[in-house]
Chain A
Amino acid sequence: MAKTAEQIRADLLRPLVRTSPAYWFAVAVAGSMVLAGVFAFSYQVYHGLGVWGLNWPVFWAFDITNFVFWIGISHAGTLISAILRLANASWRRPVTRCAEAITVFALSIGAIIPICHLGRPWLFFWLVPYPSERHIWPNFRSPLLWDFVAILTYLSGSSLFLLLPMIPDAGAARDLVKGWRKHLYSLMSLGWEGTPKQWHRLESAMHIMAIAIIPVAVSVHTIVSWDFAMTPVPGWHSTIFGPYFVVGAIFSGVAGLILAMALLRKFLHLEDYLEPIHFDHLGKLLLTFSLLWVYFTFAEHITAWYGNDVAEMNVLWATIRGPFAPLFWAMVFCNFIIPFPLLAIKRLRTITGTCIASCTIVIGMWLERFLIIVPTLETKFLPYSWGSYSPTWVEITLTVAGFGMMALLYLVFSKLVPMISMWELEAGVRKAPIYRRQAVHFEPQAATAKAGLAGAEPFATDVSR
Chain B
Amino acid sequence: MTHKWAMVIDLDRCTGCEACVVACHAENNIGTAGADQAARGRAKHWIRVERYWEGEYPNAKLRFQPVLCQQCDDAPCEPVCPTYASYHTPEGLNAQVYNRCIGTRFCANACPYTVRFLNFYNPEWDKPLNLQLNPDVSVRSVGIMEKCTFCVQRIRSAEIQAESEKRELKDGEFNPACVQTCPPKAMVFGDLNDPNSEVSRLARSGRSTKLLGELGTRPNVNYLQQESGKNNG
Q: Which residues of chain A from 122 to 155 have a CB within 8 Å of any chain B CB?
A: 123-124, 126-127, 134, 136, 138-139, 141-145, 148
Is B41 part of the binding interface, using a Cβ–Cβ cutoff of 8 Å?
Answer: yes
Question: Are A233 and B80 interface neighbours, CB within 8 A?
Answer: no
Bound-state CA distance A49–B141 (Å) is 12
Q: Encode contact with B along A52-63: 1 for CB under 8 Å, 0 otherwise.
A: 001111111000
In A74-128, the 8 Å CB interface with B consists of 114, 117-120, 123-124, 126-127
Asked if B82 and A50 sit within 8 Å, CB to CB, the answer is no
- For B104, what are the chain A residues with a Cβ–Cβ distance below 8 Å? 114, 117-119, 144
Residue of B48, B84, B119 touching A119 (CB-CB under 8 A): B119
User: In the assembled complex, which residues on chain B have CB atoms less than 8 Å from the CB atom of A142?
Assistant: 79-82, 106
CA–CA, A48 and B124, complex, Å: 13
Nearest-neighbour CB distance to chain B for A53, whole angstroms, equals 8
A239 to B50 alpha-carbon distance, docked (Å): 32
B125 at the A interface (CB under 8 A)? no
Please name all residues of chain B whose beta carbon is closer than 8 Å to the beta carbon of A384 when the two chains form the complex: 48, 50-52, 65, 67
Are the CB atoms of A227 and B143 closer together than 8 Å?
no
The residue in chain B whose Cβ has the minimal distance to the Cβ of A55 is: B41
Closest to B42 in A: A55
Residues of B close to A119: CB separation below 8 A: 101-105, 118-119, 142-145
Q: How large is the interface on A (under 10, 10 to 19, 20 to 34, 35 or more residues)?
A: 35 or more
Given the complex, which residues of A lie within 8 Å of B177, measured CB to CB?
Answer: none
Expressed in whole angstroms, the Cα–Cα distance for A167 and B110 within the complex equals: 46
Q: Evaluate contact between A126 and B118: CB separation under 8 angstroms.
A: no
Q: Is the pair A56, B143 in contact by a Cβ cutoff of 8 Å?
A: no
Residues on B with beta carbons closer than 8 Å to the beta carbon of A136:
83-84, 100
Contact indicator B118/A56 (Cβ below 8 Å): yes
Task: Report the interface size for chain B: residues with CB under 8 A from the other chain.
Answer: 46
Residues of A within 8 A of B76 (CB): 231-232
B42 touches A233 (CB 8 A): no
> Do the beta carbons of A139 and B112 come within 8 Å of each other?
no
Chain A residues positioned under 8 Å from B144 (CB to CB):
119-120
What distance in Å separates the Cβ of A241 from its nearest Cβ neighbour in chain B? 15
Give chain B residues whose Cβ lies under 8 Å from the Cβ of A382.
Answer: 50, 67, 113-114, 212
Within the complex, what minimum Cβ distance (angstroms) separates A48 from chain B?
A: 4
Judge whether B15 is part of the interface by a CB distance below 8 angstroms.
Answer: no
B96-135 near A? 1/0 per residue, CB < 8 Å = 0000111111101110111001111110000000000000
Q: Does A197 make an interface contact (CB < 8 A)?
A: no
B residues 178-232 touching A (CB-CB < 8 Å): 212, 215-217
Q: Does B167 contact A (CB under 8 A)?
A: no
B69 contacts A by Cβ under 8 Å: no
B43-56 near A? 1/0 per residue, CB < 8 Å: 11000101110000
Q: How far is it, in angstroms, between the C-alpha of A311 and the C-alpha of B103 when the chains are bound?
A: 27
Q: Are A120 and B82 in contact (CB under 8 A)?
A: no
- A231 interface neighbour in B40, B41, B109, Cβ under 8 Å: B109
Contact status B103-A231, CB under 8 Å: no
Residues of A within 8 A of B102 (CB): 118-120, 123-124, 126-127
* A385 adjacent to chain B (CB < 8 Å): yes
Whether B143 lies near A232 (C-beta < 8 A) is no
CA distance A124 to B104 in the complex (A): 10
Knowing A59-B108, A118-B104, say if A231 contacts B118 (CB, 8 Å): no
- Cross-chain contact B105 with A59 (CB below 8 angstroms): yes
Across the interface, B117 reaches (CB within 8 A) one of A48, A56, A120, A380, namely: A56
User: Is the CB of A377 closer than 8 A to any CB of chain B?
Assistant: yes
CB-based contact A56/B112 at 8 Å:
no
Bound Cα distance from A57 to B84, whole angstroms: 22
Q: Which residues of A contact B105 (CB under 8 A)?
A: 54, 59-60, 119
B103 CB to closest chain A CB (Å) equals 2
B37 within 8 A of A: yes
The verdict on A387 contacting chain B, using a C-beta distance below 8 Å, is yes
* Contact, CB under 8 Å: A381 / B112: yes
Assess A55 versus B40: contact at CB under 8 Å? Given A120-B144, A231-B80.
yes
**B121 contact set on A, CB distance < 8 A:** 47-48, 50
Determine the distance from Cα of A144 to Cα of B80 in the docked complex, in whole angstroms: 7
Nearest A residue (CB) for B109? A59
B65 CB to closest chain A CB, in angstroms? 8
Q: Does A439 contact B (CB under 8 A)?
A: no
- Closest residue of chain B to A50 (Cβ to Cβ) is B120
Q: How far is the CA of A238 from the CA of B41 in the complex (A)?
A: 28
- Nearest A residue to B106 by beta-carbon distance? A144
Q: How far is the CA of A138 from the CA of B108 in the complex (A)?
A: 19
Q: Specify which chain B residues have a CB less than 8 angstroms from the CB of A54 in the assembled complex.
A: 105, 118, 120
The answer to whether B67 touches A120 (Cβ under 8 A) is no
Q: Are B82's CB and A49's CB within 8 A? A: no
Q: Does A411 count as interface, using CB distance less than 8 angstroms?
A: no
Our pick among A144, A227, A232 for the contact of B215 (Cβ within 8 Å) is A232
Chain A residues with Cβ below 8 Å from B109 are: 59-60, 231, 233, 377
Tell me the complex Cα distance, A55–B113, Å. Answer: 15
B37 surroundings in chain A (CB, below 8 A): 50
For residue A227, which residue of chain B has the nearest CB? B106
Q: Is the CB of A145 within 8 A of B82?
A: yes
17 extra interchain contacts, Cβ-Cβ under 8 A, other than A55-B120, A377-B109?
A: A49-B142, A50-B120, A50-B142, A56-B118, A60-B109, A119-B143, A120-B143, A123-B102, A126-B83, A139-B79, A141-B79, A142-B79, A142-B106, A230-B80, A381-B112, A381-B113, A381-B212
A-B contact pairs, 15 of them (CB 8 A): A47-B121, A54-B120, A55-B120, A56-B118, A59-B108, A126-B83, A134-B100, A141-B79, A142-B82, A143-B106, A144-B104, A227-B106, A231-B110, A232-B217, A385-B114
Footprint of A on B, CB under 8 Å?
Answer: 37, 40-44, 48, 50-52, 65, 67, 76, 79-84, 100-106, 108-110, 112-114, 117-122, 142-145, 212, 215-217
5 tightest A-B contacts by CB?
A119-B103, A119-B143, A55-B41, A50-B120, A385-B114
